[in-house]
Amino acid sequence: MGCMGMSFIDFESITPDEFRAIHRLYLQKEEERLHDDWERIRTHATLIVQSFSKKKIEAKKILRFPWDGRSRGGLKSEEAPRSTRKRFEELIAHLNKKK
């Protein structure tokens, strides 16, 4: 309860349904925080790779996440993204060709 910012007194005064709703919102908030952290990492990676490329590179082509292509409602796009590992290997091969 402490990690959710809820005191023991607050916990005792709510119903199980209220707790489920609070917990669901807490998990959603934590997932969004995690996504923000990973998006920041992707942006940094893109900036690093972009400095070695003459073409503009899209962040989602550097590193793809399971939540890419989903709307806020959780719907996935029709086209599934290629494996991030496979894309990374393609980029390395492309950069090695230029050298």
Q: What is the pLDDT of residue 10?
A: 82
The residue length of the chain stands at: 99
Range of the domain at 42: 2-98
pLDDT for 60-80, tens place per residue? 888 888 888 765 554 344 444
Q: What is the pLDDT of residue 78?
A: 44
Q: Domain count of the chain?
A: 1
Among left, alpha and beta (phi > 0; psi -120 to 50; other), residue 45 is alpha
Q: What is the pLDDT of residue 12?
A: 82
The DSSP code sequence of 29-71 is HHHHHHHHHHHHHHHHHHHHHHTT-SS---HHHHS--TTTT--
